[in-house]
A and B are shown apart, each in its own frame.
Chain A
Amino acid sequence: QSVLTQPPSVSGAPGQRVTISCTGSRSNIGAGYDVYWYQQLPGTAPKFLIYGNDNRPSGVPDRFSASKSGTSASLAITGLQPEDEADYYCQSYDRSLTGSVFGGGTKLTVL
């Protein structure tokens, strides 16, 4: 199983808000390391989406936001659109493993 835990799936109707959680431990998120989020559309490579609270690469809409507290982090998507249907992954650094770790991924379905 993955070092970072994500729900396998979430869903929402167009226009709604959904959140995806990412739970770690004191050796990664809880140690203060940043959490990064990626979007993987079907059949494509992952795309860097956001990190920190609202640090988004150019071109990523502000409908995507992120937060972190304690040993957990969350990705929020507001105003859901059909094109948001994808797998979402969180990633952080683990000081015990001395390397990056990914969450197991969450499949977002737009109803």
Chain B
Amino acid sequence: EVQLVQSGTEVKKPGESLKISCKGSGYSFTNYWIGWVRQMPGKGLEWMGIIYPDDSDTRYSPSFQGQVTFSADKSISSVYLQWTSLKASDTAMYYCARHPHVGEGWFDVWGQGTLVTVSS
């Protein structure tokens, strides 16, 4: 079964750092891009960017460039989304999703989501 499994719920304080993960299985992990999508409470989906696990090539949405960092470890079929200093406005559900190639394309397999809550 093709699936993406994300790390669990996080509760953090403003200013703290965080790294969440997304692990793929059931397919050739290095042949697909992985995208990150944010969903703030009660809001819609926002594309954050994509990463190619084979060489860690990344493309960020202008809205998220400089705010987050994507990384990958292909040896364990995982990609990561990282913050160095969280803000309350980072509170959201974060999804990873499989993407066929850079540029145009769908997100056909989604992780279950990681809920990040940032509160003092």
- Complex: how many Å from CA A87 to CA B98? 20
- Complex: how many Å from CA A18 to CA B104? 27
- Supposing A45-B110, A46-B110 touch, asked if A99 and B49 sit within 8 A by C-beta, the answer is yes
In angstroms, how far is the closest chain A Cβ from the Cβ of B108? 5
In angstroms, how far is the closest chain B Cβ from the Cβ of A63? 20
- Complex: how many Å from CA A104 to CA B8? 26
**Contact in complex: B107, A48 (CB < 8 Å):** yes
**Contact in complex: A89, B44 (CB < 8 Å):** yes
- Complex: how many Å from CA A105 to CA B95? 16
**Contact in complex: A102, B95 (CB < 8 Å):** no
Chain B residue, CB-CB nearest to A104? B44
Task: Please provide the chain B residues from 49 to 73 with a CB less than 8 Å away from any CB of chain A in the complex.
Answer: 49-50, 59, 61-62
Q: For this complex, into which size category does the number of interface residues on chain B fall?
A: 20 to 34
Main secondary structure on A side of the interface with B: strand
Complex interface: chain B residues within 8 A of A46 (CB): 37, 45, 95, 97, 107, 110
**Interface residues of A, Cβ cutoff 8 Å to B:** 2, 33-34, 36, 38, 40, 45-48, 51, 57, 87, 89, 91-93, 97-105
Q: List 13 A-B contacts (CB under 8 A).
A: A45-B110, A48-B106, A48-B110, A51-B106, A57-B108, A87-B44, A89-B45, A92-B104, A99-B59, A99-B61, A100-B47, A100-B99, A100-B105
